[in-house]
Structure 1
Amino acid sequence: MVWPFLKGDDMSTPDAKEHWEQHYGERERVWSGRVNARLAEVAPELPVGRALDLGCGEGADSVWLAERGWDVVGVDISDTALQRARSAAEARGVGDRIDFQQHDLSQTFPDGEFDLVSAHFFHSTLPLDRTRIFVRAAEAVKPRGTMLIVDHSGPPPGETKLDHHHHLFVRPEEVVAALDLPDAEWEPAQTRVVERVVTWADREPFTWHDNVIVLRRRSFG
């Protein structure tokens, strides 16, 4: 069984942009178009402000936030994904609230500060220094702002091909520890593992476990 986003075993391409262009080019739509459930849980409790959606894909989370009054920067490496995201935003009437930007986050990062930084399932089949990117993202969170990270805590049941891919599954507490954020500046509001039922077209529904990490930046002064 190969994950939908781990399709194929050829890891020879060194170019991340080309890799993700191939990924999004395989189908007219890759993701469901629905907001990620944990974002829908966390965001309504926050004051509306400026949000950064890391790895925004086809834009579902960015659009959902914009519809609720947020000004959003959505970031992805794939031109195809960003084109679909812009089309979705325009179709929902929130194109003027979202600035979709192309970045290889290993190399560049969007400017500015944010009240919310959200990163969902920021895994890659290519080598990726997630911790360095998350530390950079934390630096962009405003005082009293929030960083939300949602990860797969392990592979789907029956997955046998992950040895060929650049994945490391850890507990939410380990994700937080790796960031090594100053206790005087940051408070971990949530570090938990949740279950959800996943349905893929080629297999029976199964239960998958996700890490949910919510970090609050303390007020300065």
Structure 2
Amino acid sequence: MTANHNRHDLLIVSTHGHIYCLQKKTGSRIWRQDFPSKYTGGLISLFINDADQLIVAAQGKTCAMDLFTGTHRWTNDMEGMGYHEISVVSTPTVNHGLSYAPPANEKSGWGDDSNERPPDYASSEKAVVIACSYGKVAGIDSKSGQTLWKFDCPSGGYNLPVVIAETDMIFIGCGRMVYALNPKDGSTFWSTKATNGLVGSGWMTMATVWGSRQAEV
């Protein structure tokens, strides 16, 4: 939170190579920045992690900006991953070794916490940014912007992978395959072929309860 704005007040918009931070209730502009690598066209992907980092990605580059000021923090050039659209998320900053299972009698949110946040864990870790493009996936250190690992989706071709990030596992869908990876090192927990279909679009979408609710945190 800054002196004037709470994270829940903010709406981030990207268009025409620019990124804007707006006040949700009034539409007034708080800040405006160019994409850090001077990109001027196409889709800019956005994701805000729970460390108040704004992750922006386009044309083969993933960048981090300060949510409240738009200040550029780092750029990862994603070497070997082409110059195409990027899907990007970030893991939460809770301990990756622990998973949250809501109690059976849970009524709403995360129990009695009115802020709808998952329970506190004893330790915390820095988030891992997951950037996907051109049939490949990169895990990026959220603090330094350095690449931690890469995963080349077998038979992924030029497809844009889709990703869901949970506390201790990430799910990657690409082409006909789904992979479960360790966000710390990119190692594979399992992989499976989702379909044998030959007709129709090759786009894949995915959802989990935790992954969907995490976006509300």
Quickly name the TM-score band, shorter chain normalised. Answer: under 0.3
- TM-score by length of structure 2 reads 0.26
Higher relative contact order (CA 8 A, sep 6+): 1
TM-score, length-scaled by structure 1: 0.26
Question: By percentage of residues, which structure has more helix?
Answer: 1
